[in-house]
Amino acid sequence: MVDKHDEVKKIEVDYTRLRIPFGPVHPALKEPVLLRVTVRREEVLDVDVVLGHVHRGIEVLAENRNLVQTLYLVERVCGICSHSHTTCYVQALEEIGGIQPPERALYLRTLIFELERIHSHLFLLGVMAHEIGFDTLFMFTWYVREKILDLFEKVTGNRVHHAMNTLGGVRWDLNQHMVDDIRATMKDLQKSVHRIYNFFQDKTVEKRLCDVGVLSKDDAERLCVVGPTARGSGVDMDVRRDHPYAAYTYLKDYFSVAVREKGDVYARTEVRLLELFESISLIQKVLEELPNGPIRVEDNVIRLMRRIPEGEVISLVEAPRGELLYFVKTDGKEGLRRLKIRTPTIPNVLTLKPMLVGCEIADIPVVVASIDPCMACANRLIVVDATTDSKKIVDMDFLRRRRQA
Amino acid sequence: MGIRLVASSRVKSPWLFHLNTGSCAGCDIEIVAALTPRYDVERLGCVLVGSPRHADVLLVTGPVTRQMLPRFIRVYGQVPEPKVVVAVGTCASSGGPFMGSQMVEGSVDKIVPVDVYVVGCPPRPEAIVKGIVTAVKRKFG
């Protein structure tokens, strides 16, 4: 009688190269993105990033709408840095049309901008804590973040999409009650952020984050990385200081740019923590210096929109995730000929390959979270035909042909 | 007895699965905000689970994009019956500002039956909590 166990065929698994699809729907990812990871046992050999799952065709939609409708469309590129997108777009239009918003409007834009930076960084720090299994810190950070959202609601009437910007200024003004409220919250926040900073000094957190997902300065410069990801790798760049816009022209001496040389996940987290302190002091400075006067130019939006001539402009802002670039080309008939958005996540997501190669599988969520990827921002370039599963990158020729058709 | 226990647990402790089908992340952060201390949907017994196979309630955010369509249908099929679909946000309910785009298939109810619509851009966490409670009461209660 043959032993049953002898009959069982030995299955040889080739562990030398195993391809694991990571996403697009995955519990560790908050937004759909597909990472094709090649592994040898636990070690990551290669990573392939596939984008396009939340591609909504915003750039093409913008070409079919008028300038003011597009303002509310670009706000919905991303729910986390919505104010950065509208500021960048409105700045471009104001430059083409020669509209000079009043000084108070510029200060109010800056105020919302910095509040948004705090909210976005707290959001990310919470997600980082969640990815390393430190859920207490996750809950605490998000509890602190709610205070910022309360301020947003008080000032602009909305928690996420603020709709603060309009052509030639801002839509809502501050009163004394709000100013006092923001001051009190900032004081409170400073203590909470100190507490979060101390949490991140914890030994367990350090062990989990140090020397993981290292991005060297050379790689960072080669891949044109922006924002806190670049500053964590020793690249000293910040649009607020290098090409000041809004009220940063007056405030550039009142903040410093945090730079860390190490380039690992911990360095990037630390840069964000230090930026929180800078943003808090910057908001206090904005409230001190806030000039009196109107919050927008006198003409109404429709009349301003009709005045905008044909022209093209590149506009830059420092979004919470890094440099955000808009190329705006108007047609002189209330519409857009071309809108090109280059969000910080597009260069930053490329760094996943140098960061993840050599890591362990368990580190993938932490490393991915550390660049603060915003997939909603990054997905506007690839056209996907679901029936044939073929992909192609939209180039200028394709768009030109589309317009003629 | 066993069936009664399952039915009552569904009401007392509905498990949620969150699927982003092309949202701008605005509704997603409000869903996560609903889980955190200020709004705390977990006090109603809700748990956010990692697999659609464990879930009772499917929270869908965003208009359905072309590339997410086959995945969305697959995830919907994986949620065991009886299931509840909550469309969170204006985009999921009607397509919102992205209607007319060639890359967007349309609102969620064009693809799968929706039980509760939570409108708003994005809806407040309280509204999302109420949407979940209404859906669970109507279907399982």
Contact status of A394 with chain B (Cβ, < 8 Å): no
Task: Give the other-Cβ count within 10 Å of B59's Cβ.
Answer: 27
Q: How high is the pLDDT of residue A152?
A: 92
Quote the domain boundaries for residue A112. Answer: 101-296
Report d(CA B74, CA A47) in Å as an integer: 25
- Report yes or no: B106 and B93 within 8 Å, Cβ to Cβ: no
Give the pLDDT of residue A357. Answer: 85
- The pLDDT value recorded for residue A370 is 83
The per-residue pLDDT for A298 is 87
Q: How far apart are CA B23 and CA B106, in angstroms?
A: 12
Nearest to A376 among B24, B51, B103 (CB): B24
Instruction: Centre a 10 Å sphere on the Cβ of residue A313 and count the other Cβ atoms it contains.
Output: 16
Among candidate residues B66, B77, B80, B114, the one with its CA nearest the CA of residue B94: B114
Looking up residue A148, the CATH number of its domain turns out to be: 1.10.645.10
| Summary mean pLDDT of chain B | 88
Of residues A17 and B88, more confidently modeled: B88
State the average pLDDT over residues A111-116. Answer: 93
Residue A37 lies in a domain: no
CA angle A116, A118, A122 (to 5 degrees): 120
- The enclosing domain of B90 has a CATH number of 3.40.50.12280
What type of residue is A246? A
DSSP state at residue B111 = T
Residue A28 counted as domain residue: no
Q: Is A31 on the interface with B (CB under 8 A)?
A: yes
Q: Which of residues 1-40 of B touch A (CB under 8 A)?
A: 19-30, 32-33, 36-38
Q: Is residue A298 within 8 Å of residue A222, measured between CB atoms? A: no
Task: Decide if B4 is inside a domain.
Answer: no
> Does some domain include residue B121?
yes
Total domain count, chain B: 1
- Domain assignment present for B41: yes
Q: B100 — contact with chain A (CB < 8 Å)?
A: yes
| Chain A residue nearest residue B64, CA to CA | A54
- Residues of chain B with C-beta less than 8 angstroms from the C-beta of A369: none
| Rounded Cα distance, A136 and A380, in Å | 35
Residue B66: pLDDT band (50, 70, 90) is confident
- Residue-wise pLDDT for A223-253, tens only, equals 889 999 999 999 999 999 999 988 998 988 8
> In the predicted model, what is the mean pLDDT of chain A?
84
Residue B1 belongs to a domain = no
Share of chain A above pLDDT 90, in %: 40
Q: Measured between CA atoms, how close is B36 to chain A, in angstroms?
A: 6
- Contact status, residue B136 vs residue B11, Cβ threshold 8 Å: yes
Nearest to B25 among A31, A64, A383 (CB): A31
Inside any domain, residue A211: yes
Count: domains in chain A: 1
Question: So what's the pLDDT on residue A230?
Answer: 92
Q: Name chain A contacts of B128, Cβ cutoff 8 Å.
A: none
Residues of A in contact with B104 (CB under 8 A): 56-57
pLDDT of residue A9: 58
- The whole model's pTM is what? 0.88
CB contact under 8 A, B102 and A27: no
Which residue segment(s) compose the domain that B112 sits in?
13-140
**Is residue A190 in some structural domain?**
yes
pLDDT tens profile A89-102? 999 999 999 999 99
Instruction: Flag whether residue A146 sits within 8 Å of chain B, measured between CB atoms.
Output: yes
Partner-chain residue, chosen from B68, B98, B101, that has the shortest CB–CB distance to A32:
B68
Report which of residues A118 and A4 the model is more confident about: A118
Identity at A18, one-letter amino acid code: L
Q: Which residues of B touch A145 (CB under 8 A)?
A: 33
Total CB pairs under 8 A between chain A and B: 127
- Per the domain annotation, does A263 fall within a domain? yes
Put simply, whether B103 touches A (Cβ < 8 Å) is yes
Average pLDDT, stretch A121-130? 90
Show Cβ contacts of residue A39 under 8 Å, excluding neighbours closer than 6 positions.
A17, A18, A19, A20, A45, A361
Can you give the length of chain A in residues? 405
For residue A26, pLDDT beyond 60: yes
Look at residue B85 in the predicted model and tell me its pLDDT.
93
